[in-house]
Amino acid sequence: AQSVTQPDIHITVSEGASLELRCNYSYGATPYLFWYVQSPGQGLQLLLKYFSGDTLVQGIKGFEAEFKRSQSSFNLRKPSVHWSDAAEYFCAVGAGLTGGGNKLTFGTGTQLKVEL
């Protein structure tokens, strides 16, 4: 069965500093990988996704992620964090269902705090 590990529960960075959020996945086949962001009391917003091809993917709000098959990782990065980036970040892997569909398996999330 597929699984996602986000090792960092909380991360605090200063505004303007760089950011890297870690994500490791376990999945038998070629994974579909996603990063979502959730602001307090809100739903999930898609930041970026990897299906195939270039292993460095660009997303919204200046985020990027790199797929490394050898390390089973899909880390999220941003070169300069803004105070508005404070939120919870979820990494997810998409896996096929026996009925032909697709479900997402999420990590437990990383709470990002930005210090001004």
Partner 1 sequence: DAGVTQSPTHLIKTRGQHVTLRCSPISGHKSVSWYQQVLGQGPQFIFQYYEKEERGRGNFPDRFSARQFPNYSSELNVNALLLGDSALYLCASSLQDQETQYFGPGTRLLVL
Binding site for partner 1 (CB under 8 A): 4, 34, 36, 41-46, 49, 90, 92, 96-109
**42 vs 55, which CB is nearer to partner 1?**
42
**Minimum distance, C-beta of residue 80 to partner 1, in the bound complex (Å):** 27
Smallest separation (angstroms) from partner 1 to the CB of 41 = 8
Please name the residues in contact with 99: beta carbons below 8 A apart, sequence gap of 6 or more.
Answer: none
In the bound state with partner 1, the residue whose beta carbon lies nearer, of 40 and 116, is 40
Least separation, in Å, of the C-beta of 116 and partner 1? 26
**DSSP bridge partners of 102:** 96
DSSP state string for 56-84: EEE-GGG-EEEEEGGGTEEEEEESS--GG
Closest to partner 1 by CB, 90 vs 114, is 90
Between 81 and 92, CB nearer to partner 1: 92
CB crowding 13-52: b at 16 or more within 10 Å, else e: beeeeebebbbbbebeeebbbbbbbeeeeeebeebbbbee
Closest approach, Cβ 2 to partner 1, in A, equals 11
